[in-house]
Structures are given as structure tokens and as C-alpha cells.
Amino acid sequence: MIDIKFLRENPEIVKQNIKNKFQDKKIPLVDEVIALDAEYRASKTEADNIRALKNKTSKEIGALMAQGKKEEAESVKAKVAEYADRLAELEKKEEELGAKVTEIMMVIPNIIDPSVPIGKDDSENVEVTKYGEPFVPDFEIPYHTDIMERFNGIDLDAARRVAGNGFYYLQGDIARLHSACTAYARDFMIDKGFTYCVPPFMIRSGVVTGVMSFAEMDAMMYKIEGEDLYLIGTSEHSMIGKYIDTIVEEDTLPHTLTSYSPCFRKEKGAHGIEERGVYRIHQFEKQEMIVVCKPEDSPFWFDKLWSYTVELFRSMDVPVRTLECCSGDLADLKVKSFDVEAWSPRQKKYFEVGSCSNLGDAQARRLKIRVNGKDGKKYFAHTLNNTVVAPPRMLIALLENNLNEDGSVNIPEVLRPYMGGKDKLIPIK
């Protein structure tokens, strides 16, 4: 959510930003919110004036009564009652207008960074850099679930019977490899100076609307029936929510956190061959990184965060590349975003394994996360998040890039301490 004052003073900039995001249907909202805001401020000014008059006039009643001027006092009481009635009307109008302004402001997209490439959708995202040499072996690489089944490592049929499509059982060495990925990612981030957290896996609606747009909420979130609770789609949701309605001392910034959680997503609209297996699922686990910082520091932390994901994947010899998300592919709250993609030798292309986002002060403004500056002035913090690893997709990258012709899988050296010292997985089937 952008600053209403900025919108009021720069309507054309806001409209051009909407055009750059190819959301032209939202352009009329700018003029609408300006008109509503003007009406809101006029009502507020009138209410403030009447409130002052009411207070001043109320004080006259006691003096008139003390002088025995009952009729005049009664006349003044009637005037105070009129003021009270008008004030009640204005306060109700003020509340309704304020709610309407906020509702529209929540839909208007955040101002994107000037460096973001203009494009309509993810097909126009821009490759930034490749890390490591992508390769394709001489032998055929099976689909990732077929590789897992050779180790008796996955049971999709049982999961479908228990929970339906989009769920899975991981077993044996594959389950252990999954846990090794999250444990290694946790320790990797701790070594970078991040504080490890395990957050709540459910959050209230006020936090949900604070961390994402309504469109994302509808496409992603599972609601708990009969309660004001939602299952988190990523630990970023509850980790940023941790700061709701707080004032952070400037000299404590930045706050750098890494969190583990299961994640639950509806994944509306998921389709295509790569949606099979564990590529796109309703439940998975994830290690995340979150930063709360001063506005001037967020570009620095943005570059730090995505580079950590690249470093982690390269430590396991998985080739990756970074893509900058174009304007049309950015969620409404995001200022700038990079995707990290891992090489798939089976598909002979890269696929997304992580996403790094700078959200500016959008989440902080919605959740009222403020910083107390050294000069005593308060301002909104900037928030960022990035995937360290989401093991189901990490498993795909690991298995494909470390598969041998005999069906065995080499375990990257950094993961071996988490695998009981094993350096290779030997297929059972």
C-alpha cells in the first residue's frame, strides 16, 4: 500500500505505474480515491471544528446555571445537542470514507523500482546471470518421482487416498535427504548471522491482508472454518506479522531472520506436465529468510538475499541462474523481485526454486511496523524476503543433477553430515 499523500500529490506517477503493471482497469481508482480522500478530510475538518465548538459551548452551561440563567442554559444545552448529533453523523461518515479509502488503497499496486524491466507477464522476465555450467548426461534422466520410487522414497497413491492430489509421502533415504536440505539451509543461514525461528503456522486475517494482496490471498490461502485463522503459505507471512503494530528502535536494525515452516497453498490454476509429482503441491516445507531494515538499506539487502540462495545451490554443485521479474509479473506489494532457477538436465531448462522480493514499506504500512529514528521521528520500515530452500523442488534439482547412469545418486559433500556420512544413495529397485 502506497502513501496516500504521495498518491494525492503524484496521481500521474501512480497511474503510469499501474499502466507499467498492465492493470489499466485500476487507473480510475486513483481519481476515485483522491475524491474520497478529499471528502474524508473535509468531514474530518468539519468534525474537528464542531468538536471544538461543542467543548467550548458545554463549558458555558455551568457558568449560566451558576448565575441562575436557566433559560439561557437550556438554550445552550439544545445547541450542544445539535452539535453532538452533527458530530455523530460526521464521525460515522468519516469512518465509512476512511474504510473505503483504505479498501481502494489496498488494491492500487506499489510503486515499482525504476530498474524493473517493463513486461506483461513472466515470459518477459529478464535473465541476469548464470552460475555453473548446465549439462545434459549421455543417459536418459527419468521423471523425478520415478527416481524417488527406485529408492522406495515416495508414495503418491497412499497420499491421494489420505488427502487427495497434491500431497505425498516421502520415505527412507529420500525423506532423509529432504530433511538434510532444510537442516543444511538452516545452518547455512545461521552462519550468515541470521536468527533461526520457528513461527506460528496459522495467522489471523489482519496479518494475511497485511502481507499480501487480495488476489494472492484468494489464490493461495486455506482458511480454518469457523475461525479467524489461515494456514500460512510461507513462513514470511507469520514472520513479518511478528512485527504488527510495533515500533522498532532504529539502532537495532536490521533484523535478519531465517525461519522454518510447513507451507500450505491452494495453487489455483496450476496445470501442465511439470505440475505432476512434487513440483507444485498443496503442502511442502521451506526455509525462508526475512529482513526488516531502514529504507535506504533495502537495496543492499535485496542483493545479499538472492546471492545467498545462489551460493547455497552452488555449494551443492547445482547450476542456477537469476531472473529479474518484469513489471507485469510482480505481485502488487513488490518493489523488485528476482527468481532463482535451478538447472533441470531432464527438461533441459531452468525451473524456479526460489524468489527474492523487496516490498519497500508496503507491508510495514499495512501492518503499522514503524521505526523510531534517532531524531525521534517515526517512519515505516522496509521488509524483504527470500527462499533459502523449498525441499521438494530442491530434491528435484539434487536428484537430477547428481544422478548416475547406474541409478545411484551422489550426495553433495555439504549434505553428508546430515545423511549419517553417506556419500551416495543406492537404488532399491
Quick one: DSSP state of residue 277?
T
Which residues make up the CATH 3.30.930.10 domain(s) of the chain? Answer: 122-425
CATH of the domain spanning 4-105, picked from 3.40.50.10470, 1.10.287.40, 3.40.50.970, 3.40.190.10: 1.10.287.40
- Residue 230: which H helix or E strand, with range? strand 230-231
Question: What pLDDT, on a 0 to 100 scale, did the predictor assign at position 268?
Answer: 58
170 φ/ψ angles, rounded to the nearest 5 degrees? -100, 145
Handedness of CA 420, 425, 426, 429 (dihedral sign): positive
What gap in Å lies between CA 104 and CA 1, rounded to an integer? 10
Q: Taking the domain 122-425, which CATH number applies?
A: 3.30.930.10
Which among 396, 357, 19, 414 is positioned nearest to 185, based on CA atoms?
414
Report if pTM > 0.85.
Answer: yes
Contact 401, 319 (CB under 8 A): yes
Number of H helices, E strands in the chain: 13, 18
323 alpha-carbon distance from chain centroid: 18
Quick one: DSSP state of residue 1?
-
Question: What pLDDT, on a 0 to 100 scale, did the predictor assign at position 58?
Answer: 78
Task: For the chain, list residues with pLDDT below 70.
Answer: 62, 64, 66, 268-276
Question: What pLDDT, on a 0 to 100 scale, did the predictor assign at position 273?
Answer: 40
Which residues make up the CATH 1.10.287.40 domain(s) of the chain? Answer: 4-105
Return the number of other C-beta atoms located less than 10 Å from residue 128's C-beta: 12
